Amino acid sequence: MIGYLGTQFLQSAQIGVVWAVVNCSAVAASIFIGCRYAEKVRGSSDSKLFSVWWALVGYGILWFWLLQPQTSNAIGLFLASIAMLGYVVMGLWLSSRFLVGLGILITVQAVVGYILLPGYFSLWMAITGGGGLIAGGVYALRNWR
């Protein structure tokens, strides 16, 4: 949410800094949460899922380099679709209709915003993408025990 809001409302020189801070914070939080709750959620496919996410990051970097999206909207759509592909793959792997549905829903919302709301795409993504992931996290926290 914060990254997309920054993209919508800040000057272009500040956007890279916002995304760097957001991404580094997200990685640090994920590592912390993963280590803190590892015993409660660890399963036999952990290392494979971890490898899938790293492969997705690697391919995402390659595709980004090859495709070279030029506008902030194109970059935002590209990154959102890569992340949501990860959710869909993880959902298929874990037989979680919830994760598959969340990944597809946010991808569709991203494409709709990209096409229909180009001037407000980042705001749209903050609300639908960020809000959807927060709502999904709350759902998972309450229902996955």
How many angstroms separate the most distant Cα atoms in the chain?
46
Is there a contact between 113 and 124 (Cβ–Cβ < 8 Å)? yes
Per-residue pLDDT of the chain (145 residues; tens, 9 = 90+): 998 999 899 888 888 899 899 989 988 987 887 777 666 555 555 678 778 888 999 999 999 999 999 888 999 999 999 999 999 998 898 888 999 999 999 999 999 999 999 999 999 999 999 998 888 888 877 877 6
What is this structure's pTM? Answer: 0.82
Is there a contact between 114 and 77 (Cβ–Cβ < 8 Å)? yes
Beta strands in the chain (DSSP E): none
